[in-house]
């Protein structure tokens, strides 16, 4: 049929190029346009979309099932390097340029009703999504390296401190870690929420309440949390994580009609996999920001950056969570960490000794 032929043209294409009339100027506005744009001028079923706005703001939007950020970063780097090294496109006669052809679909009234329903449903969902952006430049990646601290560990610690400020508890947290060092490797999960981060959160809370927590004690709490996080990242990257292993066992059990395995029905296992803070970062100069929606109705979707200019986070939430308050607490937590790192008691030499 005509519709099938048109769909095949889309499915067989390498990617979708979306040319938008929108002109986002602020990160928060750009995040909404690039994340959903209310479904307008998008083909979300396509694995890869290049979105270019009228003011040259651009992004790569990709569906996650086929691959991970490592592949997209490689693509982004190639595009970025080409635009820097060859900033002017070659002049091509318009007669040789490909002429766009409109894809015509035959739409019945029933299908049109479904389209209207989908449009309204998406609008309702998009309207319920909040996006809050943090740009923090009091310190940066270079500063943390000079302090001999893992920038990623500090950022993850700040997320934990911010959440504890808000809820006085520790959330189930997901951090994506690439296992591309292995053949066919995809990702493993790092679990940033730990006893060490909880101890740090409680210690900073006690200090705010005037319970006599010394600066040296705060330094130790930060170092313990950073050290533990770095250990978790090393284990995940080298195939020593546990999440993917347990997930594989769960899939095997379900395939053998053994879905009633007590371990996978345990409340603690379900709580572990009800992700509250879902976090991911891409470290490359070719990408200014990255982001994604919450993984469930009760979660925070946090795409973050740690570079030599600033620390940044895109925080997406649904109504059950207050993303603006979280960002405010995140800034306060980073300020607290900075105060400790700037104290006379903190030295890199003592860091080495410990």
Q: Are residues 214 and 329 in the same domain?
A: yes
Strand partners, 176: 189
Place of tokens 């009609």: 257
Each as own residue / partner, the long-range contacts of residues 144-149 (CB below 8 Å, 24 or more positions apart, any chain) are: 144/306, 146/348, 147/341, 147/346, 147/348, 147/351, 148/348, 148/351, 148/352, 149/222, 149/223, 149/226, 149/341, 149/351
The pLDDT assigned to 68 comes to 87
Same domain? 108 vs 200: no
Instruction: Going residue by residue through the chain, which has 354 residues, state the pLDDT in tens, using 9 for 90 and above.
Output: 899 999 999 999 999 999 999 999 888 899 999 999 999 999 988 989 999 999 999 999 998 888 888 889 999 999 999 888 887 766 666 666 677 889 999 999 999 999 999 999 999 999 999 999 999 999 999 999 999 999 999 999 999 999 999 999 999 999 999 998 999 999 999 999 999 999 999 999 999 999 989 999 999 999 999 999 999 999 999 999 999 999 999 999 999 887 789 999 999 999 999 999 999 998 888 888 889 999 999 999 999 999 999 999 999 999 999 999 999 999 999 999 999 999 999 987 555 554
Domain that holds residue 115: 2-127
> Do 197 and 169 share a domain, yes or no?
yes
CB 129, CB 318: distance < 8 Å:
yes
The residues annotated with a catalytic role in the active site are 64
Claim to verify: residue 25 and residue 55 sit in the same structural domain: yes
CATH code (residue 191): 3.30.559.10
Domain boundary among 98, 127, 156: 127
Q: Mark whether 160 and 84 lie in a shared domain.
A: no
Residue 121 and residue 137 share a domain: no
Which of 93, 127, 161 is where one domain is finished? 127
Both 275 and 250 in one domain: the answer is yes
The CATH number of the domain holding residue 71 is: 3.30.559.70
Where are the alpha helices (H) located in 100-240, listed in sequence order?
A: 109-127, 141-146, 151-167, 195-208, 215-237
Residues 75 and 184 in one domain: no
Q: Do residues 314 and 290 make contact, with C-beta atoms less than 8 angstroms apart?
A: yes
Looking at the structure, tell me whether residues 113 and 197 fall in a common domain.
no
Whole-angstrom CA distances from 172 to 54, 75, 150, 198, 272 are 40, 32, 21, 12, 6
Residues 56 and 121 occupy one common structural domain: yes
d(CA 15, CA 156): 34
24 shares its domain with 159: no
Last residue of a domain, one of 111, 127, 143: 127
Work out how many domains the chain is built from and give that number.
Answer: 2
């Amino acid at each position: 049929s005509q519709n099938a032929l048109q769909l095949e043209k889309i499915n067989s294409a390498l990617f979708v190029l979306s040319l938008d009339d929108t002109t986002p100027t602020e990160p928060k506005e750009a995040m909404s346009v690039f994340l959903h744009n209310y479904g307008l001028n998008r083909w979300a079923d396509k694995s890869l979309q290049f979105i270019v706005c009228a003011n040259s703001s651009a992004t790569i939007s990709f569906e996650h099932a086929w691959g991970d950020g490592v592949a997209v970063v490689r693509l982004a780097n190639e595009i970025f390097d080409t635009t820097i090294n060859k900033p002017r496109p070659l002049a091509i006669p318009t007669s040789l340029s490909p002429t766009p052809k409109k894809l015509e679909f035959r739409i019945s009234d029933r299908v049109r009703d479904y389209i209207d329903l989908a449009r309204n449903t998406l609008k309702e969902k998009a309207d319920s999504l909040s996006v809050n952006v943090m740009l923090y430049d009091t310190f940066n990646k270079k500063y943390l390296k000079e302090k001999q601290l893992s920038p990623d560990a500090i950022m993850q610690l700040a997320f934990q401190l911010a959440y504890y400020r808000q809820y006085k508890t520790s959330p189930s947290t997901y951090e994506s870690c690439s296992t591309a060092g292995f053949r066919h490797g995809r990702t493993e999960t790092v679990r940033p929420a730990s006893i060490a981060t909880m101890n740090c959160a409680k210690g900073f809370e006690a200090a705010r309440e005037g319970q006599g927590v010394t600066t040296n004690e705060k330094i130790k709490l930060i170092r313990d949390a950073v050290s533990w996080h770095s250990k978790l990242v090393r284990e995940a990257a080298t195939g020593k994580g546990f999440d993917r292993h347990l997930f594989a066992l769960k899939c095997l059990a379900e395939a053998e009609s053994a879905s009633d395995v007590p371990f996978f029905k345990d409340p603690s296992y379900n709580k572990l996999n009800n992700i509250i803070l879902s976090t991911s970062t891409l470290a490359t100069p070719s990408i200014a920001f990255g982001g994604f929606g919450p993984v469930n109705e009760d979660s925070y979707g946090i795409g973050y950056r740690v570079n030599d200019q600033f620390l940044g986070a895109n925080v997406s939430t649904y109504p059950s969570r207050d993303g603006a308050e979280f960002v405010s607490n995140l800034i306060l937590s980073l300020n607290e960490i900075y105060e400790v790192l700037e104290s006379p008691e903190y030295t890199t030499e003592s860091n080495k000794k410990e």
